[in-house]
């Protein structure tokens, strides 16, 4: 695939790329989607190059799909990364020789690339990686157990996580990440996992209730060893309204 891009590099925007940070929440763990390519000891974020006939946001969707097979994800642009040395020596002679690419043609690949970062927080169970290139491995990794990454992908990942935490203070999360019916402790655990800190139970209940996006159900959680907690669901209309207008409180 990379060789085809280099052979037809006139179809791609020179010096500009895209990298995607896809977070998934599952079993009280925040995970990130990573790629492992042949002949590399490091993993990477799903990334690629920008077709000249596509808008940037459209190209991000194209890149994510072409590297992972993932579709239907809403991507948010969060930062641009352009250090002078960000791709020094990454695509060296050995890589070009492995791809059987002439050094002259390989100069397009070895030039400095500025990359645009996109991120998404998705339902882990609904995102099934299916890479087009079957030599590559696409897998979910716990965000605290991420292996060594290529280039500046660790910096990109860290910035995306910081952005996610900041935006958690500006908008609600949970819809599509939790079951249709959930408890307040389960919702609080979602927030604590993303924020990577403990939240006071009473303060959390007060704040999340004041937002007005929850509906308390006339049901309690079953199959629990102690006092059964109440179940809640999201009021989708109010949830969408808060998403549109934003929050005025922080965590």
CATH code, 235: 1.10.10.10
- At 153-201, the pLDDT tens digits run 999 999 999 999 999 989 999 998 998 999 999 999 999 999 999 999 9
- At 203-218, the pLDDT tens digits run 999 999 999 999 999 9
pTM of the model: 0.88
Round the average pLDDT of the chain to a whole number and report it: 89
Residue 177 in domain = no
Same domain? 140 vs 191: no
Q: Give the angle 58-56-120 at the CA atoms, nearest 5°.
A: 65
Same domain? 8 vs 50: yes
CATH of the domain at 156: 3.90.79.10
The count of domains in the chain is: 2
Work out the average pLDDT over 58-85.
93
CA distance 117 to 111: 19
H/E run at residue 220: strand 214-220
Q: Is residue 108 pLDDT above 80, yes or no? A: no
User: Tokens 């007060």 correspond to what residue?
Assistant: 206
26 — pLDDT class (breaks 50, 70, 90): confident
Copy the structure tokens of residue 251: 């965590």
- At 27-46, the pLDDT tens digits run 889 999 999 987 778 999 99
Same domain? 26 vs 150: yes
Same domain? 17 vs 116: yes
Work out the average pLDDT over 88-101.
64
Copy the structure tokens of residue 125: 């169970």
Which residues are bridge partners to 36 per DSSP?
43, 137
User: Tokens 């085809």 correspond to what residue?
Assistant: 4
Residue 174 in domain = no
What phi, psi does 210 have (nearest 5°)? Answer: -65, -25
Same domain? 6 vs 124: yes
Quote the domain boundaries for residue 159: 2-167
Q: What is the CA radius of gyration of the chain?
A: 21
Copy the structure tokens of residue 56: 């940037």
What phi, psi does 200 have (nearest 5°)? Answer: -65, 130
Q: Is residue 93 pLDDT above 80, yes or no? A: no
225 — pLDDT class (breaks 50, 70, 90): low
Q: Is residue 119 pLDDT above 70, yes or no? A: yes
Same domain? 159 vs 188: no
Q: What SS3 state is found at 111? A: coil
Same domain? 51 vs 118: yes
pLDDT at 38: 77
pLDDT at 5: 78
What phi, psi does 49 have (nearest 5°)? Answer: -110, 165
pLDDT at 89: 63
CA distance 100 to 106: 10
> Could you count the other beta carbons within 10 Å of the beta carbon of residue 227?
7
Work out the average pLDDT over 15-27.
94
What is the DSSP pairing of strand 230-234 with strand 47-51? unpaired
Residue 179 in domain = no
Residue 127 in domain = yes
């Amino acid at each position: 695939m990379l060789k085809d891009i280099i052979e037809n590099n006139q179809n791609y925007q020179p010096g500009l790329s895209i990298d995607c940070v896809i977070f998934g929440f599952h079993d009280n763990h925040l995970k990130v989607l990573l790629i492992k390519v042949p002949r590399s000891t490091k993993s990477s974020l799903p990334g690629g190059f920008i077709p000249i006939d596509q808008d940037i946001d459209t190209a991000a969707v194209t890149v994510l799909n072409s590297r992972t097979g993932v579709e239907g994800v809403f991507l948010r642009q969060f930062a641009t990364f352009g250090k002078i040395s960000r791709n020094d020596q990454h695509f060296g002679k050995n890589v070009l020789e492995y791809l059987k690419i002439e050094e002259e043609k390989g100069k397009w690949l070895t030039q400095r690339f500025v990359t645009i970062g996109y991120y998404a927080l998705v339902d882990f169970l609904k995102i099934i990686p299916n890479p087009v290139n079957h030599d590559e491995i696409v897998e979910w990794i716990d965000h605290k157990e991420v292996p060594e990454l290529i280039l500046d992908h660790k910096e990109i990942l860290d910035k995306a996580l910081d952005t996610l935490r900041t935006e958690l203070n500006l908008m609600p999360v949970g819809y599509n990440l939790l079951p249709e019916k959930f408890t307040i402790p389960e919702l609080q655990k979602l927030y604590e996992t993303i924020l990577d800190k403990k939240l006071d139970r009473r303060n959390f209940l007060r704040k999340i209730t004041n937002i007005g996006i929850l509906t308390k159900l006339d049901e309690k959680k079953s199959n629990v060893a102690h006092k059964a907690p109440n179940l809640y669901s999201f009021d989708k209309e109010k949830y969408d309204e808060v998403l549109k207008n934003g929050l005025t409180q922080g965590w």
